[in-house]
Structure 1
């Protein structure tokens, strides 16, 4: 299945960009079911200690390896932010064997049962997020010094959301989409960018953050926060994330939100922030 979703030549279409002096993004085309253009993105963060954390790894191309080396080369943490974003963990773990693997509950078991050649069944997770195990101090003191973390176990994909305190950046996977994925498809062929045009215009309208974004708010309330039948838990996670002082949101799907990130977050999650149930 993954072969239909992931670019066959990621180096040809990847956009590598510094969001801040210590944060690098790797943006690629990614289509769900080969139709819905959601885009994919890895984020590499240099901690104040000098080590690197990689959030939602994508293909490890020669250009990416060179960038990692430029950032100091000490990959200490490889983070699968939910049960869906994990395909390239093994590739990175093989290249950087000293890195700690981090993921949500259920992911190690899911990977053990898969036959995708990209996935090593014996990868060891050093820290697994769960409702009872979500304190970043359990990962390491240097990690906790730079990151706040929230485990959104009430999300259907079991989301790990990070706040990089030194540069006030929120990093997340499927909690918030920001369609359309303009940057992620900017190096794709014209044919790929324009395929399934009508469906993707509707898709973008559903998950855009611009304007009133009423459709996106409804998707959050009626679909994502209702899927696990634990809306109160979802609300609590959203409210905790909102307490962080972020100015930028780096999502895995769609364009980076820069400058007005808190305004966008509060608009999309308005009903969750107002709810005290």
Structure 2
């Protein structure tokens, strides 16, 4: 049975006046402490873009209200980070849903709520698909169709902030477990995950060379696109926010891919 955590475990943090994160404890395979995180960005039009929605708690609703209350976009950042789309779409019915190919079919097969994906990134359209201007004008976006999880990676250009799900990890996840009453570093499975998914050493570099790619040439092509972006901060779904030096961290982790 999956471990559940109380609503009070959510950590809400204003990264800046236009960026708020909702961080929660989460156990991968109910064993390894990965943490989870949604990111809310306020667009120039006043609408909100919500990336990788976590549970829609009362505190999450309050965070949305504090940023203006108008959720314009719900973004499933890959085919894993979608489990809370249903409640968010029900609450914010006018929001446009964005996700990668295969997500709708996966959700249907799993018996999830029927949430249409309004804008779907595919291998064929990734270079031609145009986002609505209020979103496209402030974000770079790259679709890693060569990633096992079909990653959508965004760069919020005004604040040089990359937002992604399973592309860059920064374990241990101290913030995400800080209100859970649990040690973010305890347990053998957690320690194994930390070895491979921290930003130091070669562990994550090996992970993204041997495990993450479903198609290495395409994966490498996308990594080169992201390496060319101007970003300093990285907001991961799993682990600590990298407040500065993010592009250097990315280039180090993906050094082998960038040489393909």
Tell me the TM-score range normalised by the shorter chain. Answer: over 0.9
The residue aligned with 2:142 is: 150
CA–CA separation in structure 2 for the residues paired with 1:98 and 1:40: 25
The residue aligned with 2:71 is: 75
Judged with a 3 Å threshold, the aligned counterparts in structure 2 of structure 1 residues 194 and 173 are, in CA distance, closer, same or farther, namely closer
The secondary structure found in structure 1 opposite 2:135 is: helix
The residue aligned with 2:196 is: 206
Instruction: Tell me how far 1:136 sits from its aligned partner.
Output: 8.3
CA–CA separation in structure 2 for the residues paired with 1:44 and 1:194: 27
The secondary structure found in structure 1 opposite 2:37 is: strand
CA–CA separation in structure 1 for the residues paired with 2:128 and 2:119: 9
Equivalent residues of 1:78, 1:101 under 8 A apart: yes
Equivalent residues of 1:134, 1:149 under 8 A apart: no
**If each structure's helix is expressed as a fraction of its own residues, which one has the higher value?**
1
CA–CA separation in structure 2 for the residues paired with 1:8 and 1:113: 26
Matched residue count:
260
Equivalent residues of 2:27, 2:34 under 8 A apart: yes
Which digits, 9 at most, give the CA deviation of each residue in 1:106-140, with x for residues without a partner? 0001111223xxx312x221100111223586331
Judged with a 3 Å threshold, the aligned counterparts in structure 2 of structure 1 residues 169 and 236 are, in CA distance, closer, same or farther, namely same
Q: Are 2:15 and 1:19 equivalent residues in the alignment?
A: yes
Alignment map for 1:55-134 (pairs within 5 Å): 55-115=51-111, 119-121=112-114, 123-134=115-126
Pick one of 237, 245, 254 that aligns with 2:239: 254
Pick one of 215, 238, 248 that aligns with 1:263: 248
Equivalent residues of 1:137, 1:143 under 8 A apart: no
CA–CA separation in structure 2 for the residues paired with 1:38 and 1:85: 13
TM-score, normalised on structure 1?
0.90
Which digits, 9 at most, give the CA deviation of each residue in 1:226-275, with x for residues without a partner? xx2x2111111000001110010001011111111111111101111122
CA–CA separation in structure 2 for the residues paired with 1:206 and 1:168: 26
The residue aligned with 1:160 is: 152
The secondary structure found in structure 2 opposite 1:258 is: coil
Structure 1 gap ranges (5+)? none
Judged with a 3 Å threshold, the aligned counterparts in structure 2 of structure 1 residues 135 and 91 are, in CA distance, closer, same or farther, namely farther
TM-align CA RMSD: 1.6
TM-score, normalised on structure 2?
0.95
The residue aligned with 1:222 is: 210
Which digits, 9 at most, give the CA deviation of each residue in 1:51-103, with x for residues without a partner? 10000000111111111111111100000011111010010001100000111
Equivalent residues of 1:44, 1:52 under 8 A apart: yes
CA–CA separation in structure 1 for the residues paired with 2:234 and 2:70: 24
Q: Are 2:2 and 1:4 equivalent residues in the alignment?
A: yes
CA–CA separation in structure 2 for the residues paired with 1:205 and 1:18: 29
Instruction: Tell me how far 1:193 sits from its aligned partner.
Output: 4.2
Q: Are 2:221 and 1:231 equivalent residues in the alignment?
A: no
Equivalent residues of 2:33, 2:185 under 8 A apart: no
Judged with a 3 Å threshold, the aligned counterparts in structure 2 of structure 1 residues 222 and 193 are, in CA distance, closer, same or farther, namely closer
